[in-house]
């Protein structure tokens, strides 16, 4: 804030595990600067992260970063247009999840900002971002909220202080693991452990979004989702995709083949849903209302060709778009 008050350019890097308050700091900075009538820009590498900040937009949208990246590129911003004027007038620019962006994207913004602001001081370049906040204890993250030992265990592993086996392995404590019996019983036990009393809490957004099961392959995701959907009450609704290949005159890619593909970033051919189950948005539809890529929602109703869902997280939590 001293740099804002004194109009002195600088670059800061905020680092910390999930739940340590990074977004809280960003929101406080945005509110403080904007309350003075000054311009503060909030961006993020993903749509879901941008949705967590007031007025947030993706970095590619805000800075016009080229989709195809290479060395020594510039953003698609002309020095005389309104976007350049906005960047010049901004007192603070926040880029959340900057470490997820490719190096060339950050360098493109760095070169563009030098051109716009006519500041070429190497100490202000964005490429060598410095760290200003070290790792601290997890404060809000599921089990870590009520189990300090669990958060300490994660930090010991991350810092390399946890005792290893054969130098390359970490033994997971018994109370954090589910003994293997067989595949189906193991998945049922995993679901019961992560989502206990699901049928009595299925309509509570906080209950659903505060827990998740992670796996490595799309086929495993589909298997777990199918078993999890079975545990929800009520009738299910199945939506089917319509896949076809363009200019396929010889029918080299039949519809049955396309329907069998499980492509990362796309839903399966058939999508099974029930009231109260969580879903995630895969496209940017309406950022101003929180409908971004990665937004988590809760199913509240079904129509023939539309899903009625409620946004579960972020500043738009509780918002229920009519149709999308």
DSSP state of 164: E
If asked whether residues 99 and 155 sit together in one domain, one would say: no
pLDDT at residue 128 is higher than 70: no
pLDDT at res. 146: 63
pLDDT at res. 120: 52
Does residue 55 fall inside a structural domain? yes
Nearest alpha carbon to residue 26 among 87, 128, 94: 94
Task: Name the average pLDDT for the chain.
Answer: 79
> What DSSP string describes 228-263?
HHHTS-S--EEEE-----TT-TT-SS-HHHHHH---
pLDDT tens digit sequence for 147-190 = 777 778 878 887 778 888 887 788 888 877 888 878 778 888 88
Does residue 281 fall inside a structural domain? yes
Nearest alpha carbon to residue 267 among 283, 253, 252: 283
Q: How confident is the model at residue 36 (pLDDT cuts 50, 70, 90)?
A: very high
Q: How confident is the model at residue 139 (pLDDT cuts 50, 70, 90)?
A: very low
pLDDT at res. 37: 92
Q: Which residue range is the domain that position 157 belongs to?
A: 137-174
pLDDT tens digit sequence for 229-253 = 888 887 888 888 888 888 888 888 8
Does residue 70 fall inside a structural domain? yes
If asked whether residues 150 and 212 sit together in one domain, one would say: no
- Domain count across the chain: 3
The answer to whether the beta carbons of residues 64 and 76 sit under 8 Å apart is yes
If asked whether residues 158 and 189 sit together in one domain, one would say: no
> Mapping DSSP to helix (H, G, I), strand (E, B) and coil, where does residue 109 land?
helix
Q: Please indicate whether residue 47 or residue 145 has the higher confidence score (pLDDT).
A: 47
What are 269's two structure tokens?
């051919």
The answer to whether the beta carbons of residues 124 and 9 sit under 8 Å apart is yes
Nearest alpha carbon to residue 115 among 140, 81, 139, 91: 81
pLDDT at residue 39 is higher than 80: yes
Does residue 319 fall inside a structural domain? no
pTM: 0.57
Look at the chain and count its residues: 324
> Mapping DSSP to helix (H, G, I), strand (E, B) and coil, where does residue 31 land?
helix
pLDDT at residue 68 is higher than 90: no
Stretch among 11-15, 99-103, 182-186, 286-290 having the lowest mean pLDDT: 286-290
Tally of helices (H runs) and strands (E runs) in the chain:
12, 10
If asked whether residues 164 and 256 sit together in one domain, one would say: no
């Amino acid at each position: 804030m001293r740099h804002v008050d004194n109009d002195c350019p600088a670059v800061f890097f905020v680092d910390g595990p999930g739940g340590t308050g990074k977004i809280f700091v960003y929101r406080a900075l945005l509110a403080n600067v904007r309350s003075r009538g000054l311009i503060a820009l909030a961006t993020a590498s993903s749509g879901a992260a941008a949705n967590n900040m007031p007025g947030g937009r993706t970095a590619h949208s805000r800075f016009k970063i080229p989709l195809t990246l290479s060395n020594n590129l510039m953003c698609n911003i002309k020095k005389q247009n309104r976007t350049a004027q906005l960047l010049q007038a901004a007192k603070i620019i926040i880029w959340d999840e900057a470490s997820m962006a490719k190096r060339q994207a950050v360098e493109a913004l760095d070169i563009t900002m030098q051109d716009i602001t006519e500041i070429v001081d190497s100490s202000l370049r964005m490429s060598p971002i410095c760290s200003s906040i070290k790792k601290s204890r997890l404060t809000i993250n599921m089990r870590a909220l009520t189990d300090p030992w669990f958060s300490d265990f994660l930090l010991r592993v991350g810092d390399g202080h946890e005792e290893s086996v054969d130098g390359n392995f970490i033994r997971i404590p018994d109370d954090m693991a589910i003994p293997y019996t067989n595949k189906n019983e193991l998945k049922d036990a995993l679901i019961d452990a992560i989502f206990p009393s699901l049928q009595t809490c299925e309509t509570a957004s906080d209950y659903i979004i505060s827990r998740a099961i992670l796996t490595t392959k799309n086929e495993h995701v589909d298997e777990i989702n199918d078993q999890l959907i079975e545990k929800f009450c009520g009738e299910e609704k199945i939506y089917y995709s319509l896949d076809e290949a363009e200019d396929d005159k010889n029918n080299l890619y039949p519809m049955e083949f396309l329907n069998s593909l499980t492509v990362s970033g796309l839903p399966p051919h058939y999508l099974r849903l029930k009231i109260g189950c969580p879903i995630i948005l895969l496209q940017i539809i309406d950022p101003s209302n929180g409908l971004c890529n990665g937004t988590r929602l809760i199913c509240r109703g079904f129509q023939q060709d539309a899903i009625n869902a409620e946004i579960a997280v972020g500043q738009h939590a509780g918002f229920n778009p009519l149709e999308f």
